[in-house]
Amino acid sequence: MRSSLSGPLLLVDKGYAPQYDYALQLMRELPYGKWREYDPEDTIRFYSLRLHEAGMVKASPEQIISRGSDWRFLNELKQELKA
């Protein structure tokens, strides 16, 4: 079994966090189970709209979602986790 403190040490060792204190605070405040509450389609729509507004992508958010997303697997996984 791994210690809860091994995560922050790994973040510092790999160079993702400058100090152990910051990495520890991140690990304590990170809402790990929150991903189940978020809608991935809304997330893609939000970020693709920002990229479209900035001129970084030409496709609209609806085009990006229709071309590049298949929610069947995620929907099945959510159903299994509810059971």
Cβ atoms within 10 Å of 24's Cβ, excluding its own: 18
pLDDT at res. 52: 92
pTM for this predicted structure? 0.50
Mean pLDDT by 10-residue block, N- to C-terminus, for the chain (83 residues)? 64 86 83 73 90 93 89 85 77
For residues 12 and 54, give the distance between their C-alpha atoms in angstroms, rounded to a whole number.
33
Q: How far is CA 8 from CA 1, 32, 33, 48, in A?
A: 16, 15, 18, 31
pLDDT at res. 81: 83
Place of tokens 């389609």: 41
